[in-house]
Structure 1
């Protein structure tokens, strides 16, 4: 066994790890920028070196055998440590800016994302921030292959995503129903019954905040007219600002939405909490800029 370990080719192990992680030989080849015959040949060589079958066909896909799953678990640790090494080297004090790649869930209000991210720019070492937007599923997939450093979201990562990641709670706040002054004036009377049959603008039904809002509306026995559902909260806000319906607004944003967008509070969605998370590939956050973000975010939400 010791001879096998000494002769293990980590490049071949990387090819195997990529195939299992991406779930497809084709996607692994795209990621590795290699031709399928090349990767297939290297996988066979790895199996010969280890003396075990690692992958079997299931329909049109390759799935790991029992031994393959064991090898994959070790490969995860090996390449995870390799990435941590590269990040540690990149984060040494130097004249170069510290790079921070952030994934921002579409449903997260950009105003909140800014307040979370902004403290990372106040470090003594200069920081270059790169922000990407998308669905939580896509961003967590990017996190798994270390294309981004952290994901900001309104919900924790779920086991269904099948990715090893850790959700760090940043805090929560109340949610208010808000609208333009004209609409809000009529809806404040007899709230929350006044919302029944009125055009509403909500996040899509695959989000945590939407599920909480739907439950609140059910408890009030209120059935608004669902005028629009939005993955992007900025788009939801624009429709509400033009008077197309009432919308949910996290209380941490109430003052700025009144001042900058002319929104007026209708009433509190009592019992509904907007929650916020930083999702990382590490159990303990080590990146100094991410640590600054999470520390300040917890302070921000503790004040609401």
Structure 2
């Protein structure tokens, strides 16, 4: 297509947002045959199906999701321009679409994104959490600018996907106070037979922990396997079992969840990566996150707090 028909793009955008032609027509104040016809013309111009029917709803195809993402940006910029022309100031600033892997510790993710929130220029973060595989698809479709993950993308994810190593942290054992008091003596041998909350077997951390248990001759009682790191800590705070988390954010974990650190799992590390597509490498907010991590963020976080 040589030139985009923005009216057709707008009709597509409204249908995608509303989930049906009928709902979009009510907002557009147009007849259903008009919108359906223009949508078909737009799909023909694009050269691909953008929507498919599932039951009574229309859902986006992979190409449709990519086009919808660009439409969101285009019409958001249009609204911003309209506000500017009316003499209004905008607080939108630079937008960063970021994905966070569900296995990624959320406190680490926040620490990595914090510099963006403190920038002098206004910035807006749109953050989604999902499985690594789905987020990698979103990067390939340019729906997100970067993702934070505890594992690097493999070559199978695409040749235009890039890994940026951010840092690592040794892992520590945490527990609610009652459990910590019961299993504190003679660490880590005291953990044999203790109730544990562990990440699921498809995560990098779980594989490292299984090896650590074997090396220490510890047989844990697995109370639950939880993929989401924040939910796992919530279980741990309730006393359901001991759990592992990066030492880099130990003070926040103890303060936020009311837990106690029992000791370090020596030799077990969590590593963290930013993953981007080639065309997003120059995004200023991505650059700010990478620069902050490369300036020794994890070295600073891993230093034990000074005694009072």
**Equivalent in the alignment of 2:153:** 157
- Distance (whole Å) between structure 2 residues aligned to residue 42 and residue 301 of structure 1: 47
2:298 to 292, 296, 301: 301
TM norm structure 1: 0.68
**Equivalent in the alignment of 2:19:** none
Residue 195 in structure 1 maps to residue 206 in structure 2: no
- Distance (whole Å) between structure 2 residues aligned to residue 144 and residue 34 of structure 1: 25
User: Does the 8 Å CA contact 2:145/2:280 hold for their aligned counterparts?
Assistant: no
- Distance (whole Å) between structure 2 residues aligned to residue 34 and residue 302 of structure 1: 53
1:279 to 275, 279, 284: 275
User: Does the 8 Å CA contact 1:177/1:269 hold for their aligned counterparts?
Assistant: yes
**Equivalent in the alignment of 1:227:** 223
- Distance (whole Å) between structure 1 residues aligned to residue 135 and residue 39 of structure 2: 24
Over aligned residues, Cα RMSD in angstroms?
Answer: 2.9
Q: How many residues align?
A: 228
How far has the Cα of 1:161 moved from its partner? 3.2
For residue 120 of structure 2, give the secondary structure of its aligned residue in structure 1: coil
- Distance (whole Å) between structure 2 residues aligned to residue 42 and residue 243 of structure 1: 56
For residue 217 of structure 2, give the secondary structure of its aligned residue in structure 1: coil
**Equivalent in the alignment of 1:3:** none
Residue 238 in structure 1 maps to residue 234 in structure 2: yes
For residue 188 of structure 1, give the secondary structure of its aligned residue in structure 2: coil
User: Does the 8 Å CA contact 2:162/2:277 hold for their aligned counterparts?
Assistant: yes
- Distance (whole Å) between structure 2 residues aligned to residue 42 and residue 145 of structure 1: 17
Residue 288 in structure 1 maps to residue 284 in structure 2: yes
2:98 to 75, 98, 102: 102
**Equivalent in the alignment of 1:57:** none
- Distance (whole Å) between structure 2 residues aligned to residue 283 and residue 196 of structure 1: 49
Aligned 1:128-143 pairs, distance under 5 A: 128-143=124-139
For residue 278 of structure 2, give the secondary structure of its aligned residue in structure 1: coil
- Distance (whole Å) between structure 2 residues aligned to residue 202 and residue 42 of structure 1: 47
User: Does the 8 Å CA contact 1:140/1:163 hold for their aligned counterparts?
Assistant: no
1:257 to 253, 256, 263: 253
Residue 121 in structure 1 maps to residue 121 in structure 2: no
Give structure 1 regions of 4+ aligned residues with deviation exceeding 6 angstroms.
Answer: none
- Distance (whole Å) between structure 2 residues aligned to residue 280 and residue 269 of structure 1: 31
- Distance (whole Å) between structure 2 residues aligned to residue 162 and residue 219 of structure 1: 36
* CA distances 1:210-230 after superposition (whole Å, capped 9, x unpaired): 111111111112110111111
- Distance (whole Å) between structure 2 residues aligned to residue 117 and residue 98 of structure 1: 14
